[in-house]
Amino acid sequence: AMVAMDQRESLRQMFAAATGEQVDDDTLAGFKLAVAREVGPHASGFLIDRDYGFDRVAAEGMVPGGLIIAVDSLRQAPDGPVEDTSIDETIDLAAARRAGAVAAKLLLIWRDDEHRQRRLETAAVFVRGCAEAGLLSVLEGVAKPVQGQETAFDGPAAIREAAGELAALRPSLYKAQVPLGGAAPEERLADECARLDEVIPVPWVVLSQGVERDDFPAAVRAACRAGASGMLAGRAIWSDVVGSADPAAELRARSVPRLVRLASIVDSFARPWNAR
């Protein structure tokens, strides 16, 4: 059960929604470091970006599990979602490995549009680069509709198509969306996740973005029953602590028990990573 703390402008938006104020970079970094200190010790892996904390987390050995560095450069309006990504060429993967990273992660926004091949090539470059640097590669595909085609968008089918295309590049781990946003009976989710498992030839985990916090444990259980090897999630664990006056205390009171519960689900139902 791994924790994601690599949100950047999205985290700033979450602070604005929680507090009504625009926060500075130091506030973002402070929250990320609090999550690393309080929640990180209970996670098997911890994902963070270079801009707001990787160096500190690595240098101070804050997390005992595997440290994952985000290498995606995000194209995102100040008040909107991530619309596209690329590889941050300023990040030295070999240096990240020397600093303590065991893996790198790349987010790709998958759309059935004219940029589909370019994104696939970007993913291939990422997987090769990680292998050359001695890092595991975590490839995350998030399927979104083409602008103007939202009403015809078949979410579960797009998630499967993205997964089949990107996971075929053989990353060390594929990070997948939960079909139907987790808003379905567990058996339905398990069926959808089984269809997803059929097209992914590598170990895979689920993310929590787009899933209601209370729905996420059942979604993780459904995914693991269908073949997933766990979760790499952020919002479902710590989102309601954003803007708290005492984040460390709230993380201990709210987020740690959530992660412990999710880890128990993973331990009970997940497919071992080395089984695929």
CB 21, CB 15: distance < 8 Å: yes
pLDDT of residue 247: 98
- Which residues form the catalytic set? 175
Q: Could you tell me which of 199, 171, 181 has the C-alpha nearest to residue 71?
A: 171
The pLDDT of residue 276 is above 80: no
Please indicate, yes or no, if residue 261 is contained in any of the structural domains.
no
pLDDT of residue 79: 83
Q: How confident is the model at residue 151 (pLDDT cuts 50, 70, 90)?
A: confident
pLDDT of residue 183: 96
Please indicate, yes or no, if residue 88 is contained in any of the structural domains.
yes
Please indicate, yes or no, if residue 210 is contained in any of the structural domains.
yes
Please indicate, yes or no, if residue 271 is contained in any of the structural domains.
no
Largest CA distance in the chain: 48
pTM recorded for the entire structure: 0.96
The pLDDT of residue 275 is above 90: no
pLDDT of residue 9: 94
pLDDT of residue 78: 79
Please indicate, yes or no, if residue 81 is contained in any of the structural domains.
yes
Please indicate, yes or no, if residue 65 is contained in any of the structural domains.
yes
Torsion, Cα 181 142 104 123, to 10 degrees, reads 150
pLDDT digits (tens, 9 = 90+) for 79-115: 888 999 999 999 999 999 999 999 999 999 999 999 9
pLDDT digits (tens, 9 = 90+) for 36-73: 999 999 999 999 999 999 999 999 999 999 999 999 99
pLDDT of residue 265: 99
Domain of residue 71 covers 2-252
Report the pLDDT averaged over residues 160-170. Answer: 98
* Residue 204 to residue 174: CA distance in whole angstroms: 5
Please indicate, yes or no, if residue 221 is contained in any of the structural domains.
yes
The pLDDT of residue 34 is above 90: yes
Amino acid (one-letter) located at 226: A
* Residue 209 to residue 13: CA distance in whole angstroms: 14
Please indicate, yes or no, if residue 263 is contained in any of the structural domains.
no
**What is the helix (H) or strand (E) element at residue 16, kind and residue range?**
helix 9-19
The number of distinct structural domains making up the chain is 1
CB 168, CB 201: distance < 8 Å: yes
- CATH number for the domain harbouring residue 143: 3.20.20.70
Q: How confident is the model at residue 189 (pLDDT cuts 50, 70, 90)?
A: very high
